[in-house]
């Protein structure tokens, strides 16, 4: 009996060892190959514990998006980088929130001072070899109208356009801001920061407006349609530092309103290496109402999304986005994060096998 068992185990091991050779003639893309998509996670630096980092290391993460706030010095950024490396992680993308100040996005008082601080952050990213800086451009935004149980029972963000218009929306400022107003402030910002990003070797990754409504609380929003990205690219005038944080969930929230669907955007911007970062999230349906979901529980097949990204040779990062809440899951939402990372890893491995 023992001999038979040993034979069975050794036979199974031999079969397992042979499996990679049965995947076809192309080179197998390992998850950690530099040419591959990098599974990452969003981490606000405030409150990030060593136990949190150990948990993420145990999930197999090698990359991170760090949200530094508005006052991170070069020394603090370097210390954070060193700290993450102890857990086998590199900072792939970073966020400094000086760009989000209303004086910058509305063109008021301290704009130049805040832009100068943001430029120092970009320079520091370059010194530390952090390749991507994420940003968005939607002052007076309202993200959520409710947090509700999904049909599967986990808690998630809901946005209802009728509820927003009837119950939430109100003027945010003493006057309205038109699309021309916001385009002017965006253009001013980009003209100031793009040369700095180029010199630093850092890519600026622009997030679409979430939710994608043309106006909220008396302020126009720009990146609610493919035309907005096309105009922003013209403003960048061919700069290698300009590109997308392509939020799959936000784009699916808009549905047919967006001008191009997710796959058309990937084919266009991805093929031209203009997608730097991806937020990997599903939603229940397009506007006028949606609920955020886990990757396997929305209206789009997220495997097809990953396959499309691999087909255009995207090798930036993908992160779980707005992770819903499982029962008993608090703080970092570890159960939800683990579920998302495992789902993403499984889909990515399948896409690598199919696409190469």
DSSP at 99: G
DSSP at 266: I
* Domain membership flag for residue 4: no
Cα of 75 vs its chain's centroid, Å: 26
pTM: 0.90
* Domain membership flag for residue 306: yes
Contacts of 34 (CB under 8 A, 6+ apart): 315
* Domain membership flag for residue 196: yes
pLDDT of residue 28: 63
Instruction: Indicate the SS3 state at residue 113.
Output: helix
CATH value at residue 199 = 3.20.20.150
In the structure encoding, which two tokens stand for residue 29, read together? 């893309």
Number of domains comprising the chain: 1
- pLDDT digits (tens), the chain, 356 positions: 444 444 343 444 443 344 443 444 456 677 788 889 999 999 999 889 999 999 999 999 999 999 999 999 999 999 999 999 999 999 999 999 999 999 999 999 999 999 999 999 999 999 999 999 999 999 999 999 999 999 999 999 999 999 999 999 999 999 999 999 999 999 999 999 999 999 999 999 999 999 999 999 999 999 999 999 999 999 999 999 999 999 999 999 999 999 999 999 999 999 999 999 999 999 999 999 999 999 999 999 999 999 999 999 999 999 999 999 999 998 789 999 999 999 999 999 999 999 97
pLDDT of residue 47: 86
Q: Is omega for the bond preceding 282 within 30 degrees of 0, making it cis?
A: no
In the structure encoding, which two tokens stand for residue 207, read together? 């997030």
Q: Are 192 and 231 in contact (CB under 8 A)?
A: no
* Domain membership flag for residue 341: yes
* Domain membership flag for residue 13: no
* Domain membership flag for residue 11: no
Containing domain of residue 218, as a range?
45-355
* Domain membership flag for residue 32: no
pLDDT of residue 3: 45
* Domain membership flag for residue 36: no
Nearest residue to 248 via CA among 291, 294, 282 = 282
């Amino acid at each position: 009996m023992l001999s038979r068992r040993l034979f069975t185990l050794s036979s199974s091991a031999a079969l397992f060892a042979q499996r990679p050779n049965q995947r076809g003639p192309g080179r197998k893309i390992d998850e950690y190959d530099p040419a591959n998509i990098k599974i990452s996670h969003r981490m606000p630096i405030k409150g990030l514990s060593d136990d949190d980092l150990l948990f993420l290391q145990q999930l197999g993460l090698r990359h991170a998006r760090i949200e530094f706030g508005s006052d991170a010095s070069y020394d603090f950024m370097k210390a954070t980088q060193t700290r993450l490396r102890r857990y086998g992680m590199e900072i792939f993308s970073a966020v400094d929130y000086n760009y989000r100040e209303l004086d910058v996005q509305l063109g008021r008082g301290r704009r130049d001072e805040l832009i100068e601080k943001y430029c120092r952050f970009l320079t520091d990213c370059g010194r530390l070899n952090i390749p991507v800086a994420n940003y968005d451009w939607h002052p007076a935004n309202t993200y959520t109208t409710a947090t509700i149980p999904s049909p599967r029972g986990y808690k998630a963000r809901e946005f209802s356009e009728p509820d927003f218009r009837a119950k939430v929306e109100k003027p945010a400022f003493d006057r309205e801001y038109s699309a021309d107003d916001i385009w002017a402030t965006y253009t001013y910002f980009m003209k100031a920061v793009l040369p700095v990003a180029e010199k630093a070797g850092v890519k600026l990754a622009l997030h679409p407006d979430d939710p994608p409504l043309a106006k909220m609380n008396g302020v126009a929003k720009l990146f609610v349609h493919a035309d907005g990205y096309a105009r922003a690219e013209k403003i960048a005038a061919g700069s290698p530092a300009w590109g997308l944080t392509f939020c799959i969930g936000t784009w699916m929230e808009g549905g047919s309103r967006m001008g191009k669907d997710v796959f058309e955007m990937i084919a266009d911007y991805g093929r031209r290496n203009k997608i730097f970062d991806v937020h990997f999230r599903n939603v229940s349906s397009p506007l006028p109402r949606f609920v955020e979901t886990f990757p396997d529980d929305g209206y789009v097949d997220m495997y097809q999304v990953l396959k499309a990204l691999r087909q255009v040779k995207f090798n930036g990062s993908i992160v779980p986005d707005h992770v819903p809440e499982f029962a008993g899951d608090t703080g970092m939402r570890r159960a939800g994060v683990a579920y998302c990372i495992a789902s993403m890893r499984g889909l990515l491995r399948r896409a690598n096998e199919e696409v190469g």
